[in-house]
Amino acid sequence: MRPFDYYRPETFEEAFRLLALPDKKVMPLAGATDLIPMVRDEHWQPDVVVDVKGLPGVCDVVETPEGLVVGAAVRMADLVHHPLVNSPRWNLLAQAAAAMGNEQVRNRATLGGNLCTASPAADSAPALLTLEANVVIRGAAGERRVPIAEFFLGPRKTALQKGELLVGVIIPAPPEGTVGTYVKLSRRKAGDLAIVGVAALAYPHNGGYSWRLALGAVAPTPIRAPEAEATLNAGHDEAAIEHATKCAFDACCPIDDIRASAEYRKAMVSRIARRAIEGVLEKLP
């Protein structure tokens, strides 16, 4: 493993100065659960890493009028146990965090690292897509917000520009009565990326329910399944559920990798979508 310099700045000014060091490959670092294996295996060769965990506000979880603000360096284990994240409104994120990795990994891995790695299988992504979160990005020129659906550009590609950091996500408070479920299929119960991950969410709307469905690990980025959502919005009897799972099947375009073939993923996405939808139905009054 090639050595690199490590810095842990306590101000954003210092972080942006380091990120702009000339002639150096500089990478942000949070929990290091992706970064260190990638450096060890020489896929990434940073000269300098900038640890974001000392920056103001990035380890905080706070409720604001805009919704729940979760700092980029909040660890998955914190999300699993945090009372606000576990409240009925945002519990889907706690479920996704609990499904991620194993206890050792969750004790280091952060929400920001999970999003910035931009794996199509990132467990937090389907939950944040259905919760319609915005990511907060900061650079030397200022701060901007991007809907999570526009943050993922492809495998390991995000809307972050060079020198920018993810500082957190803002998750609007979903309507009263919202329920959600995250269902993950993986090779092992713990410590493995999803073969398929599905988040489903429903809330009371116009005398019925409005649905959101997001799929992970079955396309170059985590995606919403709008046709499936429209089907469920019109009703959720058996025929509608069956059609929605067919829509989820049609929405995905997976690849073969070491975890599963594309064919297996396609076959499983309908089943996992069904489990997620039924999981939501069980929680509805």
Binding of residue 165 to ligand FAD (CB under 6 A): yes
Among 32, 255, 262, 281, the residue binding ligand FAD under the rule CB under 6 A is: 32
Q: Are the CB atoms for 130 and 212 separated by under 8 Å?
A: yes
143-162 footprint of ligand FAD as x/- string (CB under 6 A): -----------------x--
Whose tokens are 């170059």? That residue is 220
Among 77, 95, 123, 248, the residue binding ligand FAD under the rule CB under 6 A is: 123
Binding of residue 120 to ligand FAD (CB under 6 A): no
Binding of residue 35 to ligand FAD (CB under 6 A): yes
In angstroms, what CA-CA distances link 75 with 31, 141, 264? Answer: 8, 27, 32
Binding of residue 229 to ligand FAD (CB under 6 A): no
Binding of residue 191 to ligand FAD (CB under 6 A): yes
55-84 footprint of ligand FAD as x/- string (CB under 6 A): -----------------x------------
For the beta carbon of residue 94, count every other beta carbon within 10 angstroms: 21
Among 15, 18, 19, 33, the residue binding ligand FAD under the rule CB under 6 A is: 33
Interaction with ligand FAD in 91-110: which residues (CB under 6 A)? 100-101, 105, 108-110
The CA-based angle 106-109-170, given to 5 degrees, is: 105
**Alpha helix (H) residue ranges in 90-197:** 91-98, 103-106, 111-117, 124-130, 148-151
Shortest separation between residue 80's beta carbon and ligand FAD, angstroms: 13
Three-class DSSP category at 120: coil
**Six-digit token pair at 146?**
């991007």
Residue type, 21: L
Q: How far apart are the first and last CA of the chain?
A: 55
Which lies closer to ligand FAD via its Cβ, residue 143 or residue 242?
143
